[in-house]
Structure 1
Amino acid sequence: MPQQTDKPTSDTPPDGRVLRGEVTYGRVLDAAERCFAATGFDAVTIRQIAAEAGVTLGVVGFHGGSKETLFRTVLSRRVETLNKLRREALAALLDAGGYTLRDLIDAYITPYLDIASRGNAQWRAYAQLIARIVADDRYYAEAKHLYDPVATEFMDAMSELHPAADRHQLATALTLSVSAMLSIVASRARIEGLSGHAGPQTPLGYRRLLLDFCAAGFMQVLSPERPDTDAR
């Protein structure tokens, strides 16, 4: 008779405590994301995150760790999804060949617009949070390992198309394009206020306009007639 063992198998139902813990962990991260997005890292307290999540301070500490750890985790969990989609789009272009600079910009920007257009409130909070981060160089050290590797892969592909392009100017154009992308996602109210007309219902509705804007900026930067510096 085979010896019985208490070791779980693939058919063993998951422990209810584990499932509850995962749900609580998700609630803590969602709450932290909303709090950081609303007021910024400096203004948020663990007490506020606990209240937003509907848990105790101890639960936040157990599942999320310190405020700094929570901040890093909130950023990294979204980046994994976004980086995967961007790399898949880039790989498809490289495999197909014959791509343009606009195609590369599209592959970088559109995955974010697509996700942000799905109506998920947490992705909107993430967009607001990232809009805060890119406006403050203090956060670069925390975020660079999350975002820069994929951005570098796209810049490498751009350099293949334009070997004479200055790397610093490419980085500047990409950073400005990202800022425009984040603005479209995080806040479109001013566009409608200035124009007096309602715009697209989702960020993805701005895709063509945003690509036109970013591609034109890149091409101006890459123009051989453009001086390296602006005289003042």
Structure 2
Amino acid sequence: MIENALPVQTDGRLLRGEATRERVLDAAERLFAAEGFDAVSIRRIAAEAGVTLGVVGFHGGPKQNLMRTVLERRVEALSTRRLAALEALRAANSPPALRDLVDAYLTPYLEYASQGDPQWRAYARLIARIANDDRWYPSVGGLYDPVAREYLQAMQQARPDAPQQELATALTLTVASMLSLVASRARIAGLSNRAPGSPMEYRDTLITFCMGGIDAVSST
């Protein structure tokens, strides 16, 4: 019995530590999303998470590193789904159709954003904030670019005559449209006199819109 006690205690400590880490990251995500990175202090994050300053430092490090960690856990989930979708497309059809590639890249984010999880809503607001701020690219671009490059390569195979710069620009603008749609659908609702729908309800319209731009630049 004594031999079994230590692993149980160790597992308990690990579980509590992981729960605390998630609480810190959740708090940072909410505050960064609501107020912006510059306006939020580590002390505010600690108070929001109900932990000490040292606990925030232990789980997140300096504020810049904490931001990257907040983003990293979401990117990991998105990248897993996007790569699985890309592999499925490659297995079914080589090269995959361009519209299918756009769908496979956009849909995982739309699905997560449509689940009603308040933390994913916070992430949506946060990534919309930093996507338009070039200072973040050197520190967080490496989180997003590897999968984007995989898709860009597949797009190039689907449209071999299209200049790579044009396709890269089109993919970047496609992502910007996706982020804008998820972060705020209030104006769409206002102009159409309807209640805002979930991001997934706009999926077909978003893909068609983005494909129009991609088709235009890749056929020149």
TM-score category, normalised to shorter length: over 0.9
1:13 aligns with 2:8: yes
Selected match of 1:40 from 31, 36, 40 = 36
Match of 2:57 in 1: 61
Match of 2:24 in 1: 28
Match of 2:67 in 1: 71
Equivalent-residue separation in structure 2 for 1:223 and 1:42 (angstroms): 42
Instruction: With the length of structure 2 as denominator, give the TM-score of the two structures.
Output: 0.93
Moved more, 57-66 or 33-42: 57-66
Post-superposition offset of 1:190 = 1.3
Instruction: With the length of structure 1 as denominator, give the TM-score of the two structures.
Output: 0.89
Query: Structure 1 counterpart of 2:73, which letter?
Result: R
CA contact (8 A) 2:186 2:196 kept: no
Selected match of 1:208 from 204, 207, 213 = 204
For residues 88-107 of structure 1, the aligned pairs below 5 Å read 88-97=84-93, 99-107=96-104
Equivalent-residue separation in structure 2 for 1:141 and 1:6 (angstroms): 49
What SS class does the counterpart of residue 13 from structure 1 fall into? helix
1:170 aligns with 2:171: no
Equivalent-residue separation in structure 1 for 2:59 and 2:105 (angstroms): 33
Query: Structure 1 counterpart of 2:204, which letter?
Result: R
Task: Give a deviation string over 1:143-182, Cα, whole Å, max 9, x none.
Answer: 1111111001101011111111111111111111111111
Report the count of equivalent residues: 218
RMSD: 1.8
Match of 1:228 in 2: none
Equivalent-residue separation in structure 2 for 1:102 and 1:68 (angstroms): 36
Equivalent-residue separation in structure 1 for 2:193 and 2:180 (angstroms): 18
1:149 aligns with 2:143: no
Query: Structure 2 counterpart of 1:33, which letter?
Result: E
Task: Provide structure 1 residue ranges, at least 5 long, that are not aligned to the other structure.
Answer: 225-232
Equivalent-residue separation in structure 2 for 1:223 and 1:63 (angstroms): 48
Distance change (3 Å), C-alpha of 1:138 and 1:8: farther
Match of 1:227 in 2: none
Q: Whose radius of gyration is greater, 1 or 2?
A: 1
Match of 2:136 in 1: 139
Whose helix fraction is larger, Structure 1's or Structure 2's? 2
Post-superposition offset of 1:196 = 2.1
1:80 aligns with 2:76: yes
Structure 1 residue ranges (4+ consecutive) displaced by more than 4 angstroms after TM superposition: 4-9
What SS class does the counterpart of residue 198 from structure 1 fall into? coil
Task: Give a deviation string over 1:85-122, Cα, whole Å, max 9, x none.
Answer: 00000000000005311100000000110111111111
Match of 2:192 in 1: 195
